[in-house]
Amino acid sequence: MDERTHHLLERAVVDVEPQRGLDDVKGRARQRHARGRLLAGVTAAIVAIVGVGGVIAILNDEAPSRYIGVSPSPPDNSQQAAALRVKIERIRLKLEALNVRVASDLHRLLVAKQDGDLSGAQRISARLQVERAEVAQLETLMRHLMDRLHRLLVAPSGSPSPIPVGAGISAGASWSLVAIEGSQGVSVLELRRADTGEVVAAVTGDGSDVPVVSGYAFGEGEPTDAVVFGLVSPETTSVTLDPGSGLPKEEGPTVAVLGTSMRAFALTAYVPNGIVRAKDSSGRAIADELLVLPGEEPVVQLVERFLSARIEGSGAEAFVASSALREFGPRLELQPLYATRDGRPYTGFTVLFISAGGDSYSVGVRLTVDGRQPVEETLGVGRAVSPDGEERLLVNGGIPGLTGP
Amino acid sequence: MARRTTFEAFFEAEHRQLFRSFVLITGDRQEADDVAQEAMVRILERWDRVERMEDPRAYLYRTALNLNRNRHRWTARRRSRSTDSRDVLPDAADAVATRVDVRRALEGLTSEQRIAVVLVDFLGFDSEGAGRVLDLNADAVRARVHRGRSALRERLTEDG
């Protein structure tokens, strides 16, 4: 410290006092807390209006009491339970704060659509996708911690011991990946910091919804080191992470966990997002899952080689609705696409991805969708209320690895 | 091992100095009050984690600087269109000249230099500690502080 400079600076603020105190800080914290709870309800209403059901449904498809925290009873004095409660409360606060952001973005999306601001709507939609991923991750972690607390309180003895699956050092931090056998065929993978034992990320799977993936970026600022892990189907022998943007792919083998029908994997990578692809012993891709971790803003841009996607019905109408495409990391994204035919949803239709070819258009990829069942895992189809208030067919989602003709 | 304390004690020890630091960094008392409050709110929300940290004070300033940076992004355009909205600090008559001179001189530094000088010369962080706050190595901090001090003296000499 340079005494002369210190003296100058001290004199510049010698009698300057803050106007707010400890009570203001505590009041503000309570206000943030309450605002998050209030807007959770508002979000549900907005979702119903806008029809972006998939985006935020995960916040609303469970009883709200899941996020209210843990009641003080039954009595438990263990430090472990107390620590779990603190973690659950922290995640609940994060979810509520996220809910505020989602509510705000949904409103902006609605306004942008009403104003015909396509590029604005695309930016907001991209942000919503990131927020959805964040919600999903937090929700998984929340469910996992609630389960752990439940096991601790209800069945403190005989709880299964964690089994090490992998370990490593990323950005100077040691971590371990452990598997825990839950009830009813559910397996849990926990990524733990070795120094504190803190669970920083977790996935839960029962074999019916694999692959389930998650990850965590160690280190702050740049560069970070990411660990991507998850549960995959039993025929999966290797997993790749394709981060896109010219970054190298990461690949690793899978291991059996706990004698269940699932296998586990862990990869280290430069970035904690991209497409996780499960492969069988012949190297054939058998499943994809998009991973976007909180705070990772995707690079989104309109895709020039494709002009648009559009829905064509099987009837007389050749053109029903269209939407621009955008690139979301290594995957093409279809903006929510609404269509109706005489006020009834379509039951058979085709989604066309159309590329530019001089003065004429050529068909890039044709997907036939039957009813509400998606033919691609990432292509969602269903009924929804569109921004103009009518019930319409809704198609949204993306196609991993689609590179065009 | 980090020493455990209560949030209230931490607030009592740090809040005033945090506020005064951001008066020097932003030149705006209202903005400094806002940043100091928001930073303390974030610390309160994470207190169970912060209290176990080796250096909670460094985390506080890191949080506050991040908040200030985000606020600045939103307000930069508005501010550029307005006249100087920075309020005048309440002055005792004989201290006015020095105070205004120092504030004006600080405004002439780059943001990075100003923050580094405040961390080291006002708050007493050593170069390593300031580096942890700013995510820089100690040499980079020393370079910023050195250039900041030189610029500050140069401007005060010019004004004087």
Q: What would the pLDDT profile of A76-131 be if each residue is shown by its tens digit?
A: 445 666 677 777 777 777 777 777 777 778 778 778 777 777 777 777 777 777 77
Q: Which has the minimum average pLDDT: A1-10, A84-93, A217-226?
A: A217-226
The yes-or-no verdict on residue A71 having pLDDT over 60 is: no
pLDDT of A263 over the 80 cut: yes
Q: Which of A9, A20, A26 sits opposite B118 (nearest CB)?
A: A9
The CATH architecture annotation of domain B93-160 reads Orthogonal Bundle (1.10)
Q: Rounded to whole angstroms, how far apart are CA atoms A217 and A219?
A: 7
Query: Which range is most confident: A174-188, A274-288, B19-33?
Result: B19-33
- Band (pLDDT 50/70/90 cuts) for residue A317 is very low
The minimum CA-CA distance between A76 and chain B, rounded to whole Å, is 19
Report the residue of B65, B107, B122, B142 to disrupt the A interface, i.e. the one with the largest count of A CBs within 10 Å: B122
Q: Across all residues in chain A, what is the average pLDDT?
A: 64
Domain with CATH 1.10.10.10 in chain B: 93-160
Q: Report how many Cβ contacts below 8 Å link chain A to chain B.
A: 91
Mean pLDDT within A250-255: 82
- Nearest chain B residue to A29 by CA distance is B41
A1/chain B closest Cα distance in angstroms: 5
Mean pLDDT confidence for B83-99: 41
Band of pLDDT at residue A246, cut at 50, 70 and 90: low
The C-alpha atoms of residue A324 and residue A207 are separated, in whole angstroms, by 35
Of residues A2, A11, A25, nearest to B95 (C-beta):
A11
In this predicted model, which residue has the larger pLDDT, A233 or B85?
A233
Per-residue confidence (pLDDT) for residue A68, from 0 to 100: 21
For the segment A192-201, the average pLDDT, to the nearest whole number, is 81
Percent over 70 (pLDDT), chain A: 49
Say whether pLDDT at B118 is over 90. Answer: yes
Shortest CA gap B57–chain A (Å)? 17
- Give the pLDDT of residue A368: 54
Q: Is the bond preceding residue A223 a cis peptide, omega within 30 degrees? A: yes
pLDDT(A28) > 50: yes
Q: What is the DSSP string of chain B?
A: -PPP--HHHHHHHHHHHHHHHHHHHHS-HHHHHHHHHHHHHHHHHTHHHHTTSS-HHHHHHHHHHHHHHHHHHHHHHHHHHS---PPPPP--GGGHHHHHHHHHHHHTS-HHHHHHHIIIIIS---HHHHHHHHT--HHHHHHHHHHHHHHHHHHHHHH-
Whole-model pTM? 0.37
- When CB atoms are compared, the residue of B11, B106, B122 closest to A6 is B122
User: Between chains, do B117 and A5 touch, taking CB under 8 Å as contact?
Assistant: yes
**Across the interface, do A28 and B38 touch by the CB < 8 Å criterion?**
yes
The pLDDT assigned to A377 comes to 40
Distance from CA of A277 to the nearest CA of B (A): 35
The chain B residues in contact with chain A (CB within 8 A) are 8, 11-12, 15-16, 19-20, 23-24, 29, 32-33, 36-38, 40-41, 44-46, 48, 89-90, 92, 95, 98-99, 102-103, 106, 117-118, 120-122, 124, 135, 149, 152, 156
Tell me the mean pLDDT in the region A161-171.
Answer: 74
Q: What is the pLDDT of residue A402?
A: 44
Residue A170 pairs in a beta bridge with A173
* Chain A interface test: which of B6, B30, B41 (most A C-beta within 10 Å): B41
Specify the pLDDT at position B31. 84
